Amino acid sequence: MVMEKFSDSLSVYKNDLENSALRDSLKSLDKLIGGKVKILDWGNSKIAIPLEINVDLPSLGNFENLDIRTTEPIILVFDLINYPVSAPRVYTDRSDFPKSNLAHLYVAVNNRPPAFCYVRGNPDEWYANKRIEDLLIRISNWLHDAATGELAENGDQYEPLRLEGYSGNIIYDYDTILSVVTSKTALVVGENFSIALFEQVGLTNRSTYKFVKLITDKNALATIKEVDEERKKGKEDVSRRKYFFGFILWNEENEIKSEYQVNIPRSFEEFKLFCNYYEIKYEEFEKFVATFKELNEYIYFPVIVAIRRPSQLTGYSSNIEFINLRFKLDSDDVKDETIVNNISIDILSHNQPLTQKLARQISGRKIDLSGRSAVFGCGAIGSKIIMHLARSGQTNLTLIDPDYISPHNLVRHVLFSDNEGENKAEALAQKIRKFYPFEMTGVINGPSFKEGLIDKEETFKTYNWLLDFTASEAFFNKLVMLKSINNNQLASASISDFGNLGILYKEGANRNPRIDDLQVELYSLASTDENIHKWLQNEQLAASSNNLVVQVGVGCNSETTILSDDKISSHASYFSGVLKKEMENLSSQGKIYLNRILDTGDYKIETEIIKVDPFDIFQPVNDSTWTIRFKSGVIKQLTDEFRNAGKIETGGVFVGVCNYKTKTIHVTESIKAPIDSEGNSIHFIRGYKGLPEKISEVETKSGGQIGYIGEWHTHPDGPNFLSPQDMKSVQCHKEETDKLQPPLPVFLSIITPDGIFPYIF
């Protein structure tokens, strides 16, 4: 008996081959077969090459007596224009090939034979570094795997059908539709189909349907009313939602089918045959669609057919496989409760909706999704970091921002023009909820915490992290002083140096170092770090310049900074990566993360991490409303000088930062007493020689951020308090510091054998 081949129905290709890469591959095939290959016309600018390929069959017989032969006829199909970027498709050339018993075969389309699914993933990418000979070896191995029963990676599971030629997508949660089928949830009791509401989204060139909800006797009337309200809107109304009623069909007898039906229906007549094959009654479904045709105002609507397989589907939770179709039905196609015309049917590709678990897996992150974070500031930098977290599955977020989206925000913000006029926090929260439509995200939003809540410790008991992206100095100071967040982890990020420097402060354990400690630490590094020195100098110059803003409206508050979106995005991606790492594995140290962009020549990005030890903290003896915080190492320097001086009083000058808002003095360095200082066992007179120059150098290096802050001297034998002479010095200093711009408090410390005793006046 002569084997019937599909290639016998194809005509010879008569045109010239202009694709040089294709000509080379055909020459290779000529050498492999020892003659000239036959070139046939496949249609659609493609050629077909029929070949026979040798298969190494198992010596003890094929798996389940599968009809795979030692020589198998195949067809290689080449794209005349896009080869070799487009890999060859490979089809069986046998009309009696056992296609119903094999996984990893694409369903037949347009009266073609089924194609081999010969690689997992994209065949074009696989073929990118392969030869035509490698492809033939791969097909031979595929047929060998079929003969030995090893096509499926997990032999205990069922490989779903391989489909192609999709006209669009359908998005629904597999387990949601599964529960409809397993519980036989029909709108009318006893029927074997259910009705669901879908929304068409995206462009019309390729249909995408998103599952909205199942229609039940409790919500049917309300849903129909909701759909009608949307259909009343004008077609140009951007808020109009395109709803469709779709259908889910199943076999009510729970029949199991193991065969692969590779001929997916492309018309209603084929659909009926398909249903008959899988023993699915379609008559009531047909009657309903024909009777209530007005339910779907639009011609197209989705239909999901459930097929029970002998074992659990690979990658899914059950043995039920869903075939997703799209019907095209017009009013002329129905009569007397039946579909009278052989309407066309398309195939839809199924996608799972995004879940937080899946987002976390795709992102490769192990963030504790139960932990909640409060985010202050949903502007340009904040919005991007928020979305990075949300796309990683971290949606337990409380978003706080009083501001609204303005048109100029669109240059750098993650939101789009359809959010203009909306509150930034609320709009972001809505976007995140839409990422995960079938899950509770936990994201909440507001313009601010209600009056007084931010100061209460119980407000933040459920929070792990507090994130500050406000770029507000006033709010920075507020966070510094908050006592209600002592048990939380705090990070604050901002952008400086004309957008070229991103800075993130991450507090240490027990808020030491605190964010203001980290800021002062960074300023203090200007004395040894040229990059920080140049940055602070630039900031000092920028403070006196007005050419860094653009008018975006009328009024004093209608300016915005000149800063490109790519720089914002660079800093945001770095900051979010830093935060995710810390959320996964929290470090106890305080850290300063720097993301530096260099664009004077080639565009370069550098990052740096500065680890900061805890500060030494003291309360002034005479005024507990102030706090003195010494940079690590300063106290040791003082005690060393105290010890080295023995019974002779010595002293020096402090440099650092004074913040009247937080009532905090940060000491970053102690300058040793000038050489013209005088000291003995009962008194110390600090000299001046070289001191102004030294302090000026510190101020210059730090761009004016760090300067003279106070004095210290020793009492080798006590007392642990200021002497009358010390009080006279305080009065003199007070007269001098009150005249400074801005004025400074008098900060004086004495060091005795019992410790350090600071005073503030």
Q: 203 or 570: whose pLDDT is higher?
A: 570
Whether 608 and 620 map to the same domain: the answer is no
- Domain-embedded: residue 161: no
**Would you say residue 544 has pLDDT above 70?**
no
Is the pLDDT score of 161 beyond 80? no
Q: Is 457 left (phi over 0), alpha (psi -120 to 50) or beta?
A: alpha
Give the span between the Cα atoms of 85 and 125, in whole angstroms: 8
Neighbours of 157 (CB within 10 A): 17
**pLDDT for res 558:** 45
Higher pLDDT, 207 or 648: 648
Query: What values do phi and psi take at 511, rounded to 5?
Result: 60, 35
User: pLDDT at position 101, please?
Assistant: 80
Is there a single domain that holds both residue 516 and residue 625?
no
Last residue of a domain, one of 353, 387, 404: 353
Q: Specify if 276 maps to a domain.
A: yes
Q: What counts of helices (H) and strands (E) characterise the chain?
A: 17, 32
Q: Please give the pLDDT value at position 560.
A: 67
1 pLDDT above the threshold of 70: no
- Average model confidence (pLDDT) across the chain: 90
pLDDT at 553 over 50: no
- Lowest mean pLDDT: which of 84-88, 158-162, 331-335, 504-508? 158-162
Which token pair is 403?
A: 């501001």
Domain that holds residue 104: 6-148
Question: What local confidence, expressed as pLDDT, does residue 555 receive?
Answer: 44
State the distance between the two ends of the chain, measured CA to CA, in whole angstroms.
111
- What integer is the mean pLDDT of 337-363? 91
Alpha-carbon distance values, 34 to 26, 28, 76, 133 (Å): 12, 10, 17, 14
Across 340-350, average pLDDT:
93
Angle between helices 565-584 and 380-391 (to 10 degrees): 50
End residue of a domain, out of 595, 612, 629: 612
Q: Is residue 160 part of a domain?
A: no
Q: Is the pLDDT of residue 280 over 60?
A: yes
Banded model confidence at residue 531, pLDDT cuts 50, 70, 90: very high
The whole-number average pLDDT for the span 516-521 is 98
Task: Please check whether residues 592 and 547 belong to one and the same domain.
Answer: yes
Residue 155 lies in a domain: no
Q: Most distant CA pair in the chain: distance in Å?
A: 123
pTM of the model: 0.82
Separation between Cα atoms, residue 282 and residue 290, nearest integer Å: 12
If asked whether residues 318 and 430 sit together in one domain, one would say: no
Same domain, residue pair 331 and 373: no
Q: Give the pLDDT confidence of 707-747 residue by residue, as tens digits.
A: 999 999 999 998 999 998 888 888 888 877 777 777 789 99
Residues 85 and 113 in one domain: yes
Question: Is residue 54 situated within a structural domain?
Answer: yes
Q: What mean pLDDT do residues 560-571 have? A: 89
- 217 and 278 share a domain? yes
- pLDDT at position 552: 41
599 and 624 share a domain? no
Top pLDDT among 104 and 233 is at 233
pLDDT band at 646 (very low <50, low <70, confident <90, very high): very high
3-state helix/strand/coil string of 599-653 = CCCCCEEEEEEEEECCCEEECCCCCCCCEEEECCCHHHHHHHHHHHHCCCCCEEE
Number of domains in the chain: 4
Decide: 291 and 268 in contact? Cβ < 8 Å.
Answer: no
453 plus 532 within the same structural domain: yes
Domain assignment present for 173: yes
> Among 747, 589, 724, 562, which residue's Cα sits nearest to residue 667?
747
- The domain boundary, picked from 336, 353, 370, lies at 353
Instruction: Please report which confidence band the pLDDT of residue 501 belongs to, taking 50, 70 and 90 as the band edges.
Output: very high
Q: How far apart are CA 401 and CA 411, in angstroms?
A: 19
Q: What is the pLDDT of residues 354-406, one digit of tens each?
A: 988 888 888 887 766 668 999 999 999 999 999 999 999 999 999 999 999 99
Better-predicted residue by pLDDT, 552 or 415: 415
Residues 137-145: what's their mean pLDDT? 94
CATH number at residue 138: 3.10.110
Q: What is the pLDDT of residues 169-184, one digit of tens each?
A: 999 999 999 999 999 9
**What would the pLDDT profile of 436-491 be if each residue is shown by its tens digit?**
988 899 999 999 988 889 999 999 999 999 999 999 999 999 999 999 999 999 99
C-alpha angle 744-745-750 in degrees, rounded to nearest 5: 125
Integer Cα distance of 687 and 677 in angstroms: 4
Q: What average pLDDT score do residues 568-582 get? A: 96
Tell me the pLDDT tens digit for each residue of 42-83.
999 999 999 999 999 998 899 889 999 999 999 999 999 999
